[in-house]
Structure 1
Amino acid sequence: MNFQTGFSTRGFDFLKDVDVRLSVELGRTDMKLKDVLSLGEESIVLLDRLTDELLDVMVNGKVIAKGEIVAQGNRFGLRIVEMADQGANPVADID
């Protein structure tokens, strides 16, 4: 997927007040059910993403950008680093 620095919203003004769900994916892993059932406090689950990789920023399950975690006071935030390419397929499906 190609990423760029911004999205054009020209022609979509009528949609700007529609609610969408923005989420950030830290990573994924496949596990056997028996391993999931054995999880408890203090368990550690290794994910497929490296610590220096950008995170997927998704709207309604579609990747729209890449970003990195930041701290704002006592809360997590996200700094957008790259926006998805607006070409023929402006957003990509996730698995």
Structure 2
Amino acid sequence: MSPPPDQSNLDSGTGHSEGLFAKIEAQATEQGARDERLGTGRNLDSILRIPVLMQVVLGSATMPVSNLMKLGRGAIVPLDHRVGEPVDVVVNGRVIARGEVVVVEDDNSRFGVSLTEIVGSTAAEPNG
């Protein structure tokens, strides 16, 4: 048989150890701190204010430096996308959506993008 528990650590009214309560409280405090770091509760507002760089990519081109050096005013660089194909919406270097280029109604001198597809993360993509 095991020896009786040390009565000096027991709470007189309930029979529970004060050390056990302290351990549970410490775990709860640690979990609360972890939740704040993950953006729950009051920290969410500060995360939502973080600026990100959003770009709309019409297309790209690859060429040798020698051809790049020959470019001048009025030169046309053909891109890999065709007219009417969706453009990529990139946030901080990652494609998050695709869409169509449109003229902004309020200001006919500006372009915008109408989202047609939201790109989900793939299983092979790292989470970092």
Same-fold status (TM-score > 0.5): yes
Counterpart in 1 of 2:103? Answer: 71
Point out 4+ residue stretches in structure 1 off by more than 3 angstroms: 86-90
TM normalised by structure 1 equals 0.74
Measured against aligned partners, the alpha-carbon deviations of 1:27-65 in whole angstroms (never above 9, x if no partner) come to 111111111011011100001111121000010000000
Larger RCO (CA within 8 A; separation ≥ 6): 1
Greater fraction strand: 1
1:86 Cα deviation (Å)?
4.8
* Corresponding position of 1:8: none
Q: Aligned pair count?
A: 81
Gaps of 5+ in 2: 1-37
Following superposition, the deviation at residue 18 of structure 1 comes to 1.0
Instruction: Say if 1:68 and 1:12 are closer, same or farther in 2 by CA, change over 3 A.
Output: farther
RMSD: 2.2
Gaps of 5+ in 1: 1-10, 91-95
* Paired-residue identity, %: 35
Instruction: Choose 1 or 2 for highest CA Rg.
Output: 2
